[in-house]
Amino acid sequence: MPLTHFDAQGQAHMVDVSDKAVTDRVAVAAAYIKMAQEAFDLISEGRAKKGDVLGVARLAGIMGAKKTPDLIPLCHPLPVTKVAVELTLDPDLPGVRIEATVKTSGQTGVEMEALTAASTAALTVYDMTKAVDKTMEIGGIRVLLKDGGKSGRYEAK
């Protein structure tokens, strides 16, 4: 299958979606941020000097989804109808698991918006706790679910 973001001459271009049907679309993406126990305790006990780490990261993720076409050059600006970002403390990492859900009714999907939301939330957790732990690891950034449009449903295994 050819890459859609390149024309016949191999030049990058924005995909023309004008002939696509407007359909309800949803995407869910995940990420995690692994950290030292000290940073985990700081977040879970609400002792971070910069404030409510999970609350701020949730808002940052929502903002990230809305700004995706400003960050990713070939993304279409979409009428995002919902963004939900869930951050869950996971003592087994230790760290935070992030899941972002984005919805729209449009001519192209919202996978990039969901991925950007999850990534932005993870980066915000890092920013707010880096004074305690500079060794934090962000990973697992991936699409868990994509539905709507011509290509149908995709669910990660």
Report the catalytic residues. 127
* Rounded CA separation 106/119 (Å): 23
Q: Which residues contact 8 (CB under 8 A, 6 or more apart)?
A: none
**C-beta separation of 117 from 61 below 8 A:** yes
How many angstroms separate the first and last alpha carbons of the chain? 22
Query: Quick check: 112 and 68 in contact, CB under 8 A?
Result: yes
Q: Are 95 and 126 in contact (CB under 8 A)?
A: no
Q: How far apart are CA 92 and CA 78, in angstroms?
A: 37
Is the distance from CB of 84 to CB of 20 less than 8 angstroms? no
- As given in the structure block, the two tokens for residue 41 are 């305790």
